[in-house]
Every structure is written in C-alpha cells, then in structure tokens.
Amino acid sequence: MIPYGRQCISEEDIQAVNKVLRSDYLTQGGTVTAFEQKVADYCGAKHGVAVNSATSALHLACLALGLKEGGRLWTSSISFVASANCGIYCGAAVDFVDIDRDTFNLCIVSLEKKLKEAELTGDLPDVLVVVHLAGQSCKMKEIKLLCDPYGIKIIEDASHAIGGKYESFPVGSCRYSDITVFSFHPVKIITTAEGGVAVTNSPELAEQMELLRSHGVTRDPVKMEGDSDGEWYYQQIALGFNYRMTELQAALGCSQMESLDYFVSKREEYALKYNDCLAGLPLALPVVDKDCQSAWHLYIVRLQGDTTEVTRKDLFDYLRQNGVGVNVHYIPIHTQPYYQSLRVYDDLFEAERYYSEALSLPLYPGLGDKSQDYIIDQLKGYLG
C-alpha cells in the first residue's frame, strides 16, 4: 500500500540520534535548546519552546494566554481533534467557525458574522485557534483585524505548515498571532517521532510555557518566593506538567531541519504534477491563495457530486483496494460523539459538505514518480 504520508529519514538523521545516545544527556541537555533556536530562527520568531507533541504545545499555549474555566475557545471544525481539545483541557467551552469552500481554512465571512452575534449575546471567545489546513496559511491579516477590537488571542495551529509562507514571511513569524504551534509527528513536514514546538515573539509567553512544560518548577532565584536555600534549591510556583522533548528527538529535529526546504520543494513538485494530471476529472483540486505558499502537507481533492455518480466512499474503497492509501482529513470535530455530548453547534454547513467530498491523496518527499503515475492512472481509470 502506498501510504498517504511518510517520514523521510537520512543517514545523517540516524548519526545525529546515535551521537546523543552515546552522550551524557538523553534529556534536558543543550540539544533541545539548539532545536528550539533553529525552529525560531527559521520562522523569524524570537522564542521557541519544544515539547513532546503539538497537542502539548497547544495546551501550554492556551494556558499561557490565560484560558481557564469559564473561558471560550473557537477553532475550525475541519482539523484534528487536538485543535479543540486544548480548550477543554483548560476548562473552557469550545465552539467552531465554518470553513471556506475553496481553501478549507477558517472562513473570514463566517468568523465576522459569528463574532457580531457573540458580541450581542456576550459569548465572545478568549482564544481563537486557526488551523493552516494541508499546509496553507489562513488569512491571518484579516483574522487579526477581526479579533483585535475584542482582545481575542490568536494561536496558529501550524501542525501542517512549517516551511510554508504567508505574505512572503515564513509561517511561524507570529506577525498576526500570539503563538504558533508545529507538530513533528512522522506524517508531518519534518519529524522528531513525536514532538512539537511553540514559537512566539513574547518573552513572557515563552517563559510561561517553559515553566509549565516542566512541572511549574523553577531554579531561577528571581522567580522564587523568598530566598533560595542554596544551589540545590527549586520551587514549584505553578501547576505544570512533564511535556518535555528528549535530546534524541531534538537531535533528529535539528538534523531534519536541514532538509526542510528540500522536503517542501519535493512536496510542491508532486502537488503541481497532480494539478496537471488530474484536471478534467470530476475533482475539485486544491486552491492556493495568492498570499500563500503552501507547505503541501496534504493534497486534498473534493469529489464533485453534481458531475459524477461515484461517491467519496466508492472512490476511497476502490483506491484502497488497489494499493493507494488514501485518507480523509478530517471528520468534522463537532460531529464527534464527545463534542456532540457537550452542546449543539450551528452554521457548519460547509464543513459538513466538505466532509462528504474530501479525499487526501498520497503526498510525501519519497513518493517517487512511478508511484505517483500509478495513483494518477488509477484515478483516471476509475473516474475518467
């Protein structure tokens, strides 16, 4: 089966991890700091905080921004559940904004309408998590303009989008957000096996996330209550977690960063070939906004139900039976039983329609021309 995504590990990556294994520090050494710096520098952000997953990064980002019991978080329903769960972890209520029909990202018109309604009912969110689906940035400038008058904090869930650009700046520059979060799960653009980084331009937010990543414990006398008892002394000054990234993961991450631009260019090459070869089939192909350069985490097509009898399930089953590991990203979060048990959700028509039509085709740097040609032939044979 050709998978929909796969990591790309080089001999240098393996050497980098081996080197850490032979060293004194498997955790809490300098490699994590080096990786944080590398990611922050790449994005043009001031600070990076590495953790054991993007899910942990989203949780810490929400906590650092002050989200708590009684608060509200909004996000897009077409995302992985982690984009919403971070709000629930903080005791906040979660609601969803509908998506744009062409980019599948959060819809600006829906956001504006929902904010106006929430202003009247006193239900404005404290935090908005925007998701750069498939690697394409949301319209950050418009989003910030809409959120600023209400003081709403913005987190970019850029789990798909490291290596992408918005208005010629790297995703993660945080020019229009408070914090940006990346995932390094093996199917994402680069990998640390498990892992994530939160980047920000705010020293206070970075400091808070660092504290909470490691139990809420500090060794810095300046932050302690009263005097330090001595060199051995530490104080717990908040309730934190163990969300730390290991040195092994950070070494892999540092090494993978060297290939990031190459990975994105290979992904783009395959994406453009899909664009060329699939035109004319009853599929809506990905649309990239003029302000964006996608990192091409996913190549999502939408089956055009009005022009073919074939259903998405037919197409999915056919391709899977023929060795093409297609997938569906994502099932709308608001339709999950857990979220259904919490409340009723309105106005998510486009998200639900998207779900009935969407299919992710295999896309990763090691896909290879032969595999891609085979996938294209299968699609043409079935739909053409």
Ligand X SMILES: *Cc1c(COP(=O)(O)O)cnc(C)c1O
**Pick from 2, 62, 131, 245: which binds ligand X (CB under 6 A)?**
131
Q: Which is nearer to ligand X, 197 or 379 (CB)?
A: 197
10-18, 51-59, 217-225, 336-344 -> range binding ligand X (CB under 6 A): 51-59
> What does the CA dihedral 55, 76, 326, 363 come to, rounded to 10 degrees?
-70
| DSSP-based three-state secondary structure for 301 | strand
Instruction: Tell me which residues in 192-251 interact with ligand X (CB under 6 A).
Output: 196
- Quick one: which of 7, 53, 136, 191 contacts ligand X (CB under 6 A)? 53
Q: Which stretch binds ligand X (CB under 6 A): 31-39, 79-87, 338-346, 350-358?
A: 79-87
Q: Does 378 bind ligand X (CB under 6 A)?
A: no
Q: Is 160 in the site for ligand X (CB under 6 A)?
A: yes
59 binds ligand X (CB under 6 A): no
Burial state string for 338-367 with b = 16 or more CB within 10 A and e = fewer than 16: ebeeeeebeebebbebbbebbbbbbbbbeb
**Closest to ligand X by CB, 16 or 190:** 190
CA distance 293 to 137: 8
> C-beta of 55: minimal distance to ligand X in Å?
3
Give 324's strand partners: 2
Smallest distance, Å, CB 383 to ligand X? 27
**If binding is defined by CB under 6 A, does position 79 make contact with ligand X?**
yes
Q: In this complex, which beta carbon is closest to ligand X, that of residue 191 or of residue 218?
A: 191
Chain positions 171 to 200 lying near ligand X, rule: CB under 6 A, are 183, 185, 196
Which one, 160 or 165, has the nearer CB to ligand X? 160
Could you tell me where the DSSP H helices lie in 71-158? 82-89, 108-121, 140-147
Q: How far is the CB of 243 from ligand X (least distance, A)?
A: 11
Contacting ligand X (CB under 6 A), which of 74, 80, 296, 354? 80
Q: Which is nearer to ligand X, 53 or 259 (CB)?
A: 53
Contact range with ligand X by CB under 6 A, out of 47-55, 104-112, 164-172, 266-274 = 47-55
User: For ligand X, which is the closer residue by CB, 77 or 173?
Assistant: 77
Q: Is 142 exposed, middle or buried (0-12, 13-18, 19+ CB in 10 A)?
A: middle
On whether the CB atoms of residues 38 and 31 are closer than 8 A, the answer is: no
- 75, 77, 159, 378: which one binds ligand X (CB under 6 A): 159
Whether 204 and 63 have beta carbons less than 8 Å apart is answered as no
Task: Write the binding mask 87 to 126 for ligand X: x where contact by CB under 6 A, - elsewhere.
Answer: ----------------------------------------
The position carrying tokens 């906040």 is 92
Number of residues that bind ligand X (CB under 6 A): 14
Query: Is residue 54 a contact point for ligand X (CB under 6 A)?
Result: yes
Label residue 91 left, alpha or beta by phi (over 0 means left) and psi (-120 to 50 means alpha): left
**What minimum distance in Å lies between the beta carbon of 41 and ligand X?**
21
Is there binding between residue 76 and ligand X (CB under 6 A)? no
Spatial separation of the C-alpha atoms in residues 269 and 271, rounded to whole Å: 5
DSSP H helical ranges for 184-341: 203-213, 247-257, 260-278, 312-321, 337-340
If one asks whether residue 256 binds ligand X (CB under 6 A), the answer comes out as no
CB 50 within 8 A of CB 251: no
Residues 6+ apart with CB under 8 A from 298: 4, 5, 133, 134, 135, 160, 329, 360, 363
Among 63, 78, 82, 251, binds ligand X (CB under 6 A): 82
Instruction: Judge contact between 240 and 214, C-beta under 8 A.
Output: yes
Is residue 157 at the binding interface for ligand X, with CB under 6 A as the rule? yes
Cβ 313 vs Cβ 359: under 8 Å:
no
The H-assigned helical ranges of 136-202 are: 140-147
- Tell me the window of 36-44, 157-165, 237-245, 265-273 that interacts with ligand X (CB under 6 A): 157-165
Which residue ranges make up the site for ligand X (CB under 6 A)?
53-55, 79-80, 82-83, 131, 157, 159-160, 183, 185, 196
